[in-house]
Structure 1
Amino acid sequence: MRETASPTVRVIVPATTANLGPGFDTLGMALDLYNHVELTETGEGFVVDVEGEGAASIPRNESNIVLRVVRQVYELAGRKPAGLRLRLRNEIPVARGLGSSAAALVGGAVAANELCGNCLSDQEILEIVTSFEGHPDNVAPALFGGVVVSAMIAEGDRTEVVSRKIPPPYGMRAIVAIPDFPLATKRARNALPAVVPFKDAVFNVSRTSMVILAFIHNDWDLLAKVMEDRLHQPYREPLIPGMGDVFSAAREAGALAAVLSGAGPTLIAFARENTAEVAQAMEETFARHGVSCVTKELKPCAVGAKVI
């Protein structure tokens, strides 16, 4: 008698860069670098396998946060699996500001939902994963792709995550300079002040609005003028040697703008051309500050998490 194969789902999820300069905890963009998640229903027990980026530091027991989100999806779907095998193959660097945890969580949630018959909506998946991540700026573009604007709105005893997707400018390239050291999000958050000057808040509101308009209208000239920030980058700069100089070098080499990717330490420059020159300038400038880095040329990714 032929044995019945265990149900298996495979999902790929893009990396993301959050904030995009002034859009702190609000804007995020998907990039064409991927984590792969495979989930299989088994007869008994819970097993986690990890390979690739961060494999040595990721738990392989029931404390694994991706397994936890998987089990929550099953619970909400009214299912109790006897066992699960979770396989994570990570191409996105861990703790570098490229949304590795959001990608893994989204992949786990989407895979679990697929095995449960897709009984949960995309909105429910968004809110489940956001509850694990704390904010949606990486989660939403990992799930939906493109550039996503998100907000968390309190309604009684629950918080709704509202998000809207817009296209990135056609022909954009993202040059990421990934330093050889990690930066925990908690440490980067602890560097931020409890209050900021009113004028800095107004500055960021205006720039965020303009960045969104620049994306919608494919307005490169506008984007080059408004991707500035006063709410988080100045306070995180001491954590990343040479950050300001790398920004300047990238722009001098032809980038339209250069910003901190998420909480860092990865720096990201946006350009239409001269991408090799921009990458070289970023590497050389980091090196002068004693930082070794890897550069990659990525493209905005229009598609989010995808069952393959």
Structure 2
Amino acid sequence: MTIPVGTTVTVRVPASSANLGPGFDCVGLALGVWDECTVTVAESGLLVEVEGSGADAVPRDESHLVVRTMVTAWQHLGVPTPAGLHLSATNSVPHGRGMGSSATAIVSGVAAAHALAVRGGVLAAEELDLTAINAIASALEGHPDNASASVFGGATLSVTDAGEPLPRTRTVPLRLHADVEAVVLVPETTLSTHTARSVLPEVVPLATAAANSARTGLLVHALTSAPDLLLAGTADLLHQEARRPSYPHSMALVDALRAEGLAATISGAGPSVLVLTQGDRVADVRRIAEQAAGWQVLTPGVPERGVQLV
């Protein structure tokens, strides 16, 4: 059974920041910057329309990430791919800035594919089965930090175990302390995740891994219960220093912010900088960013819900 022609859905998905310092590939935070797309099943052919961030650079054919993701999601769901699709996307999440734009697109594609199959009567489930969407999206993204935050909203901690046909992703929502505020400092330059990951060492000393694990535990406690520990909880020993040559200006800004007691980290693969602070110190973040010059300051908020049907 195929999804009937004319079936349509619109989904909104938030941006995200990953790692938050030591939580490499496992801790994510949703950010209140949203991509939205409408997908309609057509009789035949493919029409892709894109506006907003990255519109001049993304493809308009079957290689578009949302389209590719929908096809793969239907394969995992056992649903035939429709003969025709019309995708209309409006992007607000900056591309190549460490704000999870690829994860946002992947979650959009999985959620749209799932909801279309349910609305079309091909799949018996809730339109937004967040656990199923998270499993597929995390597997396609390759790690669950960004994807899980975009699926569930808020702050998330995820662990992935081997499984068939997909790895098993377990995501625990974290109740973010009410005083924690996220500030994102976005540069004009971009950096691909592939490039950022290519410089990471394949092996780290046991003492480093143990110390970073302890920091991750402290990070979770700081996020949920003790914001005064965020500076210590966001200290990273695994990935940021290895990537310093890839984003020297970002690391210089992180150094300047942390020197003034502000919990600054690289956002995801960079080059944006995430600062987790309390409201009375946002002005300090702005002042330091202005002194560095060339940084857009965003205070997007942290949405409590992730992917949504409009």
**1:54 aligns to what?**
54
Instruction: Give, in whole Å, the separation in 2 of the partners of 1:199 and 1:122.
Output: 37
10-19 vs 159-168, which moves further = 159-168
Does residue 29 of structure 1 match 2:37?
Answer: no
Equivalent AA in structure 2 for residue 175 of structure 1: V
**2:284 aligns to what?**
277
3-state SS in 2 of match to 1:174? strand
Match for residue 264 of structure 1 among 262, 270, 273: 270
**1:152 aligns to what?**
160
Equivalent AA in structure 2 for residue 208 of structure 1: T
3-state SS in 1 of match to 2:89? strand
**1:102 aligns to what?**
103
Instruction: Give, in whole Å, the separation in 2 of the partners of 1:34 and 1:194.
Output: 34
64-73 vs 8-17, which moves further = 64-73
Instruction: Give, in whole Å, the separation in 2 of the partners of 1:35 and 1:26.
Output: 22
Instruction: Give, in whole Å, the separation in 1 of the partners of 2:307 and 2:72.
Output: 18
**CA offsets 1:67-126 (integer angstroms, 9 cap, x no match):** 011123334242342211111211010011000111111112112211111736432222
Contact 1:253 1:274 in 2 (8 A): no
Q: How does 1:127-206 map to 2 (within 5 A)?
A: 127-155=135-163, 158-206=166-214
Equivalent AA in structure 1 for residue 266 of structure 2: L
Instruction: Give, in whole Å, the separation in 2 of the partners of 1:80 and 1:96.
Output: 32
Q: How does 1:4-15 map to 2 (within 5 A)?
A: 6-15=6-15
Identity %: 36
Contact 2:139 2:166 in 1 (8 A): no
**1:250 aligns to what?**
257
Contact 2:139 2:167 in 1 (8 A): no
- Distance verdict in 2 for CA 1:91–1:156, change over 3 Å: closer
Contact 1:253 1:278 in 2 (8 A): no
- Distance verdict in 2 for CA 1:60–1:31, change over 3 Å: same
Contact 2:183 2:297 in 1 (8 A): yes
Instruction: Give, in whole Å, the separation in 2 of the partners of 1:106 and 1:80.
Output: 18
Contact 1:179 1:293 in 2 (8 A): yes
RMSD, matched Cα: 2.0
- Distance verdict in 2 for CA 1:94–1:158, change over 3 Å: closer
11-20 vs 191-200, which moves further = 191-200
Contact 1:254 1:277 in 2 (8 A): no
Instruction: Give, in whole Å, the separation in 1 of the partners of 2:251 and 2:136.
Output: 36
- Say how many residue pairs are matched: 298
**1:114 aligns to what?**
115
Does residue 232 of structure 1 match 2:239?
Answer: yes
Contact 1:151 1:161 in 2 (8 A): yes
- Distance verdict in 2 for CA 1:244–1:182, change over 3 Å: closer
92-101 vs 276-285, which moves further = 276-285
Equivalent AA in structure 1 for residue 298 of structure 2: K
